[in-house]
Structure 1
Amino acid sequence: MGAGSTFFLRFPAFPTVLIAMSLHPNTLPPTLPASDDAKRGAARRALKRVVGWTLAVVVAGCAAFAAYAAVYPERMPLAIGTVVEDITGANPQPVHLLLPPQAPLSAVAQLGRQIFYDTSLSASGKQSCASCHSPQHAYGPANNLEVQLGGPHMTDVGYRPPPSLAYLYRQAPFSIGPDQNDMDAAPVSLQQLAASAAGVQRAVKSAGVAPAAPAMVPQGGLFWDGRASTLQDQAIGPMLNPVEMANASVEDVAHKLVAAKYVDQFKMLFGNSIANRPDLLVTEAMFAVGRYQYEDPSFHQFTSKYDYWLQGKAHLTQAELRGLHLFNDPDKANCAGCHLSKPTSDGLPPLFTDTQYEALGVPRNHNLPMNRNANFYDMGVCGPFRDDVKDLTQYCGMFLTPTLRNVATRHVFFHNGVYHDLKQVMDFYNLRNTSPDKIYPHDASGKVEKYDDLPAKYQANIDVADAPFDRKFGDKPAMTDDEIQDIIAFMNTLTDGYKP
């Protein structure tokens, strides 16, 4: 049934009422004397003409509406409430979001806050966790460098752009396939899970609905490749990374912690002997950093315009509404296929990620020093910075899907920082398959070097099934430039700090 018929579905008696008014002998202007038959007949004929024209306008309007719906089905209202949304920008079905509780930080979290901002814990004495994860920039980098500088003299170039530390409080540990329900059974290794997943068709992602965990797709974890399973594990990584905080060993970190001004807080919380136990001292320090990130509301504010719109406390503009519909449309942008935009069934606000891994085939960033080696490839889950699943080649080229919350505040995108604004990102999604010559470089003979940042033997891992990647070479792109601008307008509503 066409969208134009929805008017009559909602008001089925309307045409009947008009026809009855035109035919009933007593349908007269109230001031006309009933005894004047000539005038009565003329009035009835005039009324019939008015009703006839009214019906013609209604029918023509419904026909035009149906024609518009055939061309732009994603813009069609499905209920009266959606009509209100389209007109006013209000959410026709406000929801109650179950937000994280706010309470004073625990003593451990307060200790973690001091560690998070302590530059003395780096080899250079100039770098802290907050240097790459600035609270003023949604806990991402404060600059537009493709990768950050670090090392003993703050001159070494990093490997990947630091992801935001915001909205990680619900991140599960890294795993492959469905959860293991039998708690009494022996743990299943990643290799066993991957082997059992071989040949299983990957679930298609669409419509912003989280699919049942596809057996072959990794999920959860931290860093771009998921090599850390907890915030505590993540915190120690930069401490020991030679191109970041550049401590030589855990003992090196412990030595700095003992010299820190807050060492007495360690002793109060964990006993005086903690200062003489380097491994335990560092373990508790990283636990404290994790507690700080978990407890402090600034890491998961949920104060974006979209959050307020979900709760009925803000109105979206027409451009933002169009962008939201396109974002969710499984045949257009299909962003919500991976960046889930709807609250969970129990009212948790959306995190705008399914926390799964995708091989997108983004072009190689030739500005990164490590990419000057033509034989080097950053292949995400299967290496080079994690090696426990390096032989599971069906995952080569897969990287964690990041949250899109506060995405408009970022200056570099994807695991290699190859793009610098959201328009470039959207053009990549839109043109990767339809016009690859606009995305990838050309070799000496002029041939497009598609998927140039992944060895050819692993390129079958790259997603070509989910929209908008389901288009073929030469096809019309999924989105127009105007639609891309609307989607970007919507993504700007995901920035925290909105005042309704």
Structure 2
Amino acid sequence: MRQRFSDSVERGERSGNAGRQSASFRSFLTKAFLLGTLTANAPAALAKDCSPASDGSNPCPVTLVRPPVAPLSAMAKLGKALFFDKALSGSGQLSCASCHVPSAHYAPDNALAFAKGGVAMDKFGVRAVPSLTYRERQPPFSVGPDNATSETAPPPPPPPGIKGVKSASNTGASAQAMVPQGGLFWDGRADTLQSQAAGPLFDAREMAATHAGVAARLRHAPYSADLFRLIGAHASDDMLIAEALFALARYQIEAPSFHPYSSRYDAWLEGKTRLTRDEAEGLRLFNDPAKGNCAACHLSAVDEEGRPPLFTDHQYEALAAPRNPLAPKGTYDLGLCAAGRADIGHNDAYCGFFRTPSLRNSATRKVFFHNGVFTTLRQVMDFYVLRDIEPERFYSRRRDGSVRPHDDLPVRYENNIDNTDAPFEKHASPALTPVEREKVIIFLHALTDP
């Protein structure tokens, strides 16, 4: 069994004017298969080879179970107004949509590694802005295969050698280990879309809003009457802000544009289109544990409820991305171990770990990895294949001219770096040739929603 999911990251029911969210996380386990898809109606598909046929068609078509489409609720409509409201920011120049641009799949539409913000618009964030798409099935943070830890006791630290080898042919194996998974942001510091929205809103380097300023805007905005109709006329400032954040979450959960599942790959899964020869070969290489092994972390198969793949296992990896020269000097971004989570604290075993992103719409992104160090998918593919074979292509050099591998992670945390999963295994030659890397990239373009 592979991974815990939740049907809805933000599921709330209102009771009077209380305005409290009642979150319900229903966990279940999923299975992923190397070259197959599974439907509730056709378990026999498990035994079939569901790789693309010679003509690019899908020999195992399925009916995908997508999120239901319905008119937006009143709370979600309010969230939409908030999402585009620049007056919520300290500068009056930034809204959520400024960095999460709808036409760019709710990611930045520029090539800035770090977004510009602050009250005077003279500061920069410290991480690349992720897309907000496909968050409706994001699980909360946990450590372990089934979130078995009690609510009062913190998750146990990982014992030495916990990391199992990840293989696209057996994605269930690594899920049995006590591994960090779930959560939002690159470092998993938030569990809900409400708390995620509060992060950039009140960050002095981003939207730079203040508690008082947001409350004042909520009381005197064009949408204020709608807000008070939903929560009552005598809400406190804290209630106003909490409900505004909840509304933002509802908008992201309910609006189909955040999770359309409308890519060519989705159409192929349903047997409605054919992959080109290069796309089909790229998918094969993507899934092959001896080649790209991409599907070990970026799951490519339909789950056992018939839902489209998210192309992430929601887990964390220490990949040792090169340092971005634009990053703040004299500092290291340690990721998960410095997320400030009370349940795990600062655990050295998690330093350098960042959340595995979905690859959906990755072909339209302008920067990649948590620090935006790469600007093309070809650079990303080259790094995965050549990181340990040609480190001089990616890392800086010391004063004596020697290469400083893993130059964005302190030496004491280097044991955390993934050196075991293909294609990071030690190879005398690259696991993927340049032509094969290009075919994987061609396949990734098939994950783009129109």
What TM-score results when the alignment is normalised by the length of structure 2? 0.86
Task: Note the 1:398-413 alignment, pairs <5 A.
Answer: 398-413=353-368
Structure 1 counterpart of 2:153, one-letter code:
V
Residue 119 of structure 2 contacts residue 208 of structure 2 at CA under 8 Å; is this kept in 1?
yes
Task: Note the 1:299-378 alignment, pairs <5 A.
Answer: 299-368=258-327, 370=328, 372-373=329-330, 376-378=331-333
Cα distance in 2 for residues equivalent to 1:107 and 1:261? 15
Q: Alpha-carbon deviation of 1:444?
A: 2.0
Cα distance in 2 for residues equivalent to 1:212 and 1:443? 36
Cα distance in 2 for residues equivalent to 1:365 and 1:391? 24
Cα distance in 1 for residues equivalent to 2:109 and 2:177? 38
Cα distance in 2 for residues equivalent to 1:221 and 1:235? 13
Residue 251 of structure 1 contacts residue 279 of structure 1 at CA under 8 Å; is this kept in 2?
no
**Which position in structure 1 is the counterpart of 2:426?**
471
Q: 1:84 to 1:153 in 2, by over 3 A?
A: closer
Cα-to-partner distance string for 1:395-448 (whole Å, 9 max, x where unaligned): 000000000000000000000000000000000001001111222122121211
Residue 124 of structure 1 contacts residue 152 of structure 1 at CA under 8 Å; is this kept in 2?
yes
**Which position in structure 2 is the counterpart of 1:98?**
65
Task: Note the 1:64-143 alignment, pairs <5 A.
Answer: 85-143=52-110
Structure 2 counterpart of 1:273, one-letter code:
H
Cα-to-partner distance string for 1:359-401 (whole Å, 9 max, x where unaligned): 0011101122x1x22xx11010012x53644531000000000
Structure 2 unaligned segments of length 5 or more: list them: 1-34, 36-45
Cα distance in 2 for residues equivalent to 1:406 and 1:255? 37
Residue 284 (structure 1) aligned with residue 243 (structure 2): yes
SS of aligned partner of 1:272: coil
SS of aligned partner of 2:226: helix
Residue 340 of structure 2 contacts residue 346 of structure 2 at CA under 8 Å; is this kept in 1?
no
**Which position in structure 2 is the counterpart of 1:188?**
153
Cα distance in 2 for residues equivalent to 1:207 and 1:321? 17
| Larger RCO, structures 1/2 (Cα 8 Å, 6+ apart) | 2
Cα-to-partner distance string for 1:142-192 (whole Å, 9 max, x where unaligned): 11111110111222111111110000100011111133458xx653213xx
> Which residue of the other structure, out of 226, 232, 241, is the alignment partner of 2:188?
226
Cα distance in 1 for residues equivalent to 2:66 and 2:421? 31
**Which position in structure 1 is the counterpart of 2:256?**
297
SS of aligned partner of 1:494: coil
Structure with more helix by fraction: 1
Cα distance in 2 for residues equivalent to 1:83 and 1:133? 35
> Which residue of the other structure, out of 105, 123, 127, is the alignment partner of 1:156?
123
Cα-to-partner distance string for 1:207-229 (whole Å, 9 max, x where unaligned): 16344634342100000000010
**Which position in structure 1 is the counterpart of 2:199?**
237
Cα distance in 2 for residues equivalent to 1:495 and 1:102? 20
Structure 2 counterpart of 1:299, one-letter code:
F
Residue 397 of structure 1 contacts residue 461 of structure 1 at CA under 8 Å; is this kept in 2?
yes
Q: Alpha-carbon deviation of 1:247?
A: 1.5
Residue 471 of structure 1 contacts residue 477 of structure 1 at CA under 8 Å; is this kept in 2?
no
Cα-to-partner distance string for 1:65-87 (whole Å, 9 max, x where unaligned): xxxxxxxxx9xxxx9x8699442
**Which position in structure 2 is the counterpart of 1:206?**
167
Residue 252 (structure 1) aligned with residue 207 (structure 2): no
SS of aligned partner of 1:88: coil
SS of aligned partner of 1:112: helix
Residue 210 of structure 1 contacts residue 337 of structure 1 at CA under 8 Å; is this kept in 2?
no
Residue 145 (structure 1) aligned with residue 98 (structure 2): no
Cα distance in 2 for residues equivalent to 1:387 and 1:223? 12
**Which position in structure 1 is the counterpart of 2:227?**
266
> Which residue of the other structure, out of 374, 381, 388, is the alignment partner of 1:433?
388
Residue 95 of structure 1 contacts residue 311 of structure 1 at CA under 8 Å; is this kept in 2?
yes
Cα distance in 2 for residues equivalent to 1:426 and 1:256? 45
Cα-to-partner distance string for 1:97-122 (whole Å, 9 max, x where unaligned): 11110000011000000000000000
Structure 2 counterpart of 1:189, one-letter code:
P
Residue 89 of structure 2 contacts residue 95 of structure 2 at CA under 8 Å; is this kept in 1?
yes
Is the deviation greater in 220-229 or in 443-452? 443-452
SS of aligned partner of 1:293: helix
SS of aligned partner of 1:96: coil
Residue 50 of structure 2 contacts residue 58 of structure 2 at CA under 8 Å; is this kept in 1?
no
What TM-score results when the alignment is normalised by the length of structure 1? 0.78
Give the count of matched residue pairs: 405
Cα distance in 1 for residues equivalent to 2:444 and 2:173? 23
Residue 252 of structure 2 contacts residue 258 of structure 2 at CA under 8 Å; is this kept in 1?
yes
SS of aligned partner of 2:215: helix
Q: Alpha-carbon deviation of 1:200?
A: 5.0
Q: Alpha-carbon deviation of 1:319?
A: 0.4
Structure 1 counterpart of 2:197, one-letter code:
A
Q: Alpha-carbon deviation of 1:257?
A: 1.2
Is the deviation greater in 235-244 or in 201-210? 201-210
Residue 168 of structure 2 contacts residue 288 of structure 2 at CA under 8 Å; is this kept in 1?
yes
What is the percentage of aligned positions where both structures have the same residue? 49
SS of aligned partner of 1:321: helix
Q: Alpha-carbon deviation of 1:204?
A: 1.6
> Which residue of the other structure, out of 393, 404, 407, is the alignment partner of 1:449?
404
Q: 1:482 to 1:307 in 2, by over 3 A?
A: same
Cα distance in 2 for residues equivalent to 1:181 and 1:322? 40
Q: 1:181 to 1:445 in 2, by over 3 A?
A: closer
